[in-house]
Structure 1
Amino acid sequence: MCSIGGGTDIEIEERVKGRSYRCKECGERFKAVGKHPVCPSCQSEDVEEA
């Protein structure tokens, strides 16, 4: 018999470390995870690692 359990008790922020970025369009500084970060302020993909 197979059962599907509920959610897990894992805090994502404790496990995944985001990298710091700066948006070249609006100057916003933010942390993101992934290969193609997007500025949360202006949605630009023109960002650089800070």
Structure 2
Amino acid sequence: MCSVGDAFNIEVTQLNAKFYKCADCSNEFRGVGRKVVCPSCHSGNVSLMFKEE
């Protein structure tokens, strides 16, 4: 494995996070990106609740 530099130190709130709810386990979480996956059960069956301002 090859890497350059240190890891990024970015808060989720700095990335325009959106709030999602998992339809499989009812977990509510913040996520970013196009293919959001529930961090608890790893399901892709999530729905957008609202965008954090």
- What percent of counterpart residues are identical? 37
Larger Rg, first or second structure (1 or 2): 1
| Moved >4 Å (runs of 4+) | none
What runs of 5+ residues in structure 2 fail to find an aligned partner?
Answer: none
TM-score by length of structure 2 reads 0.68
Tell me which protein shows more strand as a share of its residues: 2
TM-score by length of structure 1 reads 0.72
What runs of 5+ residues in structure 1 fail to find an aligned partner?
Answer: 1-5
Count matched residues: 43
| Equivalent residue number for residue 12 of structure 1 | 10
Letter in 2 for 1:40: P
Higher relative contact order (CA 8 A, sep 6+): 2
